[in-house]
Amino acid sequence: MYEMIFQTLRERITRNEYKIGERVPSEKELCSEFGVSRITSKKALRMLAEEHLIIRQPGRGSFVADSNSASLKLSDNQQAIRTSGKKRIIGLVITNFSDMYGTELIYGMEEASRENDCFLVVRRTFGIPELETQAIQQLLGLGVDGLIIFPAQGEYFSAEILKLVIQKFPFVTIDRYLKGIPASSVSTDNVQAAKEAANYLFELGHQHIGFLAPPPANTTAIEERIDGIIEAHAEHNILVNRELWMETITSTMPNVFDPQARIEDVNKLVEHLRKYPHITALFAAEYNIALLVEEAAGKLGLRIPEELSVICFDGPESHEGCRITHMRQNQFEIGKQAFENVLHMQGDEQPITRILLQAKLIKGKSASAVNKD
């Protein structure tokens, strides 16, 4: 009977009835389906694991492995260590990372992994939903004990993430949260951070402020920054003029690799500043957009900050001082807390938490008081 169950499940896996990363029936479910004892169903699942067709995770179930990946064919000793829970592995699915944003996140996670005697496995998606799906499936097939996910930019969250919620698999999102989905997240308090940055510009006498960002559709970090800017306007009794905003910057998105896109964005900024010459400050949603502003201002002969102030989120650390005024996110702590949050998720009753960390205003050389002349 155990051989019959083994053959049946193997056929279902090869026919993709159970896809990579999906849970296969439990020992108890197999007992009900085939009318066998728990010992029989357990032996069938063990045979599937020995054939590297599934990865067994104590307390959570068995999941279809990527049998074509040589990295999944663990030795008996490695498999024993993995399933015993002695060395836990956490997978990170991230769009991309650089000195401006992402590297410090990983430093924080790596620090937490060493403190907890665990390992971190990283996969980049470049903001491409298909690569995000593939990365989640492969990491589940590898047998990770939890996931940290920086969701791909786009209108819809991955169906794989919804599966994680349904299966109550331990995972945390970073940078943004998923609307309507009961999932824990760790991010910056984007509303408060954007509000503080806008208030700083108001204190310098700026009233005609443009906001620059990628399309914000269902990207909660951008949406929250917009909310913060609007709140700051309201508190200063200044009307929000969204004609001064440009929310069509695409060259900085992780899934855009065309150098021409950068040229087009700079040209769009040049035309925008020509159309609205009364703009005295631009608030960029990210550092790389601020660099586009510098290039566009150069083409127009506008001096920064004398004729145009620039402020943004994030920026590289420099021993020579900060060039662009920015809100610095506590990336290290975001990464560290995300890792520790995943480790503490156990069992079916996993509390849903949303952790918000404060950003810090770093005053650089790109923002100054309005020139009244």
Render pLDDT for 350-366 as a digit per residue (tens, 0 to 9).
Answer: 678 899 999 999 999 99
Sheet containing 146-149: give its strands across: 119-124, 89-94, 146-149, 171-174, 184-188, 354-357
- DSSP H helical ranges for 143-258: 159-166, 190-203, 220-235
Domains of the chain: 190-328 (3.40.50.2300)
The whole-number average pLDDT for the span 192-207 is 97
The whole-number average pLDDT for the span 66-95 is 59
Average pLDDT, the chain: 86
Question: For the whole model, what pTM was predicted?
Answer: 0.73
pLDDT value of position 75:
39
Render pLDDT for 93-113 as a digit per residue (tens, 0 to 9).
Answer: 998 888 778 899 999 999 999
Render pLDDT for 297-326 as a digit per residue (tens, 0 to 9).
Answer: 999 999 999 999 999 999 887 645 578 999
pLDDT value of position 146:
94
More confident residue, 269 or 15: 269
CA dihedral 310, 231, 248, 149 (to 10 degrees): 100
SS3 112: helix
Is the pLDDT at 126 greater than 60, yes or no?
yes
Is the pLDDT at 257 greater than 60, yes or no?
yes
Spatial distance between the Cα atoms of 365 and 311, rounded to a whole number of angstroms: 10
Is the pLDDT at 70 greater than 60, yes or no?
no
Q: What's the pLDDT band for 372 if we cut at 50, 70, 90?
A: low
The whole-number average pLDDT for the span 115-125 is 93
Identity (one letter) of the amino acid at 53? Answer: L
Which tokens hold the place of 142?
A: 């590898």
Q: What's the pLDDT band for 27 if we cut at 50, 70, 90?
A: confident
Is the pLDDT at 157 greater than 80, yes or no?
no
Q: CA torsion sign, 123 to 252 to 225 to 309?
A: positive
Mean pLDDT lowest for which of 13-22, 70-79, 198-207, 316-325?
70-79
pLDDT value of position 73:
40
Is the pLDDT at 275 greater than 50, yes or no?
yes
